[in-house]
Amino acid sequence: MSSTAVLFIYAVGAALLGFWAVARYPAIGPQTFRSALLATIAAFALQSEVPVGVAYAIASGGPAVALVFVVLPAFALLFWA
């Protein structure tokens, strides 16, 4: 399986997790347009640090650790925001 396919599958899974979190815990997410916009800006700002986290996770535990503990939460945060 190509790396693009794996990343696509993780993105779809993260989208499902993010949408589930919004549906299951609506009080935790942004309540107004302004707070949703701020959460989205913060999520995109945090995405700039994802490559650093991926590199560290790969060096520490391998690609599977990076996918589960860095990439999946980063994508889920984007879809939650």
Q: Which domain range does residue 37 map to?
A: 3-80
The C-alpha atoms of residue 23 and residue 29 are separated, in whole angstroms, by 9
| Number of helical H runs and strand E runs in the chain | 5, 0
Q: What pLDDT, on a 0 to 100 scale, did the predictor assign at position 66?
A: 92
Q: What pLDDT, on a 0 to 100 scale, did the predictor assign at position 28?
A: 85
Looking at the structure of the chain, the number of domains it has is 1
Q: Mean pLDDT for each 10-residue chunk of the chain (81 residues)?
A: 88 91 87 89 90 93 92 89 80
